[in-house]
Amino acid sequence: MLIEKAERASYEAPPYADFPAAEYKDRLERTRQRMEQERVDALVLWDKSNVRYYTGFHSIHWHALSIQPAVLIVPIDRDPVLIVPEFFRGVAEGLTHVADIRGQDDPHCTETIRELPVDVAAAVAALGHGRGRIGIEAGRLGGMTIPRPINDIDLFRSSLPEATFVEATDLVWFVRMIKSRLEVDAIAQATQAVVEALGRLVAEFRMGMTERDVGILLQEVLVREAQEIDALNVRCAERRYPMPDTPPFYENVSIETGDRMVIEPLPMVKGYCGSCCRTFQVGGPLSSEAERSVRIIERSQTAAIDAIGPGVSTAELIGVVEKVFAEEGSPIEIEMIGHGMGLTGHEPPMLTAREPTVLEEGMVLAVEIWKYDVAGFAYGDSLQSTKNLGPFGNEDLVVVTADGCERLPAFRKDVLSLPHEPDC
């Protein structure tokens, strides 16, 4: 049984909301338009990014899986209902514009936890949609999940035996892919934190540092300039080349002359991720072969960004990049050149030809081009005589505008090696 209150107990209006009431209403309105098109009577959302997108609610308890921090019901015909543990009522009132907040009593009790799906189903039925079409977080596009044990979801569905459950992932992404100016500004601020962190790295990197040293240096800046860190992707040593998307916390990873450093932090502002990836040569100038790889990367990324605009297919962008590689004598079939950015650091649309998407104004895209040369790496105790060049890549963020795209903050590209000798 959920606790319902006629009015807010702590805050008449949310003093710490991520976004104003007008944006809250706009997100709901755009969602309901889509729900009407797809004949969905109510959405039931459990995923933390979806709950934050529609309400502003967030909590560190999403990492404590013994409870469910929030469930959101978005009916097509009335105000949303936010269900939270009763001791989170103040959190919900302080962060969200939702008027109908219902509390789960004694949420740490196993029996209560197991009954939450029944309580959510009862709330859906009380809203008049017990026989309706209920949208849940399932569908073709990835990146959304229902963060509950499968028996909870089975119980939720069986508690609404006359309802029809429909996949609503694509519906929600259709709304979330188009960013408001407030969302773009948060992503830009988070990305600016990356620019500041890379600047500090360039200024303070010295031979003898370890990969862990680099990670600590970056984190110090990111914590100061942003609000949270979603991830910190760092690879600094040659033997780490085959390990993409990993943090810099492995012991005894020394950085030596000739290594290439991949630095891609993902800080967050108001839940929105920013990023700007750069790769650096360590301890000297680039070889002619490495310079050629850098040229290919920079030419192809520039060409892709120049081609971005509303109505452009992601398949067209792949063709632009493949053309540059071919012109440079390195023809290749490219799988992906980037992805969307938002409340997660990797979300639709994917910049791919295999599942093409037509770009729309308001999409925020991470355009990243990579060229790998790890042929010389030996999975043994020693390296082969042929020195591999390692990974080369850049990532920059843009927002699609009415007549092209707007670049978000980006770190300079003329620093190709560390330690860096500043211009006099």
| pLDDT score recorded for residue 373 | 67
Pick from 335, 369, 332, 331: nearest CA to 352: 335
- Over pLDDT 70: what percentage of the chain? 96
Instruction: Say if residues 281 and 418 touch (Cβ distance below 8 Å).
Output: yes
DSSP state of 153: H
* Domain boundaries 181-418, corresponding CATH code: 3.90.230.10
Sheet holding 42-45, edge to edge: 2-4, 100-104, 81-85, 71-75, 42-45, 133-136, 164-167
Q: What is the residue extent of each domain of the chain?
A: 2-176, 181-418
pLDDT greater than 90 at residue 263: yes
pLDDT the model gives residue 218: 98
Whether the CB-CB separation of 321 and 367 falls below 8 Å is answered with no
pLDDT band at 389 (very low <50, low <70, confident <90, very high): low
Question: pLDDT digit string (tens) for 324-341?
Answer: 999 999 888 899 999 999
Tell me how far apart the alpha carbons of residues 170 and 409 are, in angstroms, rounded to a whole number.
Answer: 29
Q: Output the six-digit token pair for 106.
A: 């004694």
Cβ pair 179, 363 in contact under 8 A: yes
- Quick: pLDDT tens for 203-219: 999 999 999 999 999 99
Side chain identity at residue 14, one-letter code: P
| Percent of the chain whose predicted confidence (pLDDT) is above 90 | 80
Length of the chain: 424
User: What is the pLDDT, as a whole number, of residue 390?
Assistant: 75
CA distance 170 to 165: 14
Task: Let me know: does 337 contact 366? Beta carbons within 8 Å.
Answer: no
pLDDT score of 384: 42
Q: Are 248 and 229 in contact (CB under 8 A)?
A: no
Q: CA–CA distance from 423 to each of 86, 417, 420 (Å)?
A: 59, 14, 9
d(CA 128, CA 163): 11
* Rounded-to-integer distance, Cα 338 and Cα 94, Å: 36
pLDDT band, very low/low/confident/very high, at 226 (cuts 50, 70, 90): very high
State whether CATH 3.40.190.10 applies to domain 2-176. Answer: no
Using one digit for the tens of pLDDT, what is the confidence trace for 13-22?
Answer: 999 999 999 9
Q: Give the phi and the psi of residue 120 in degrees, each rounded to 5.
A: -65, -45
- Does 268 have pLDDT greater than 50? yes
144: pLDDT strictly greater than 50: yes
Predicted confidence (pLDDT) per residue in 58-84, tens digit: 999 988 778 899 999 999 999 999 999
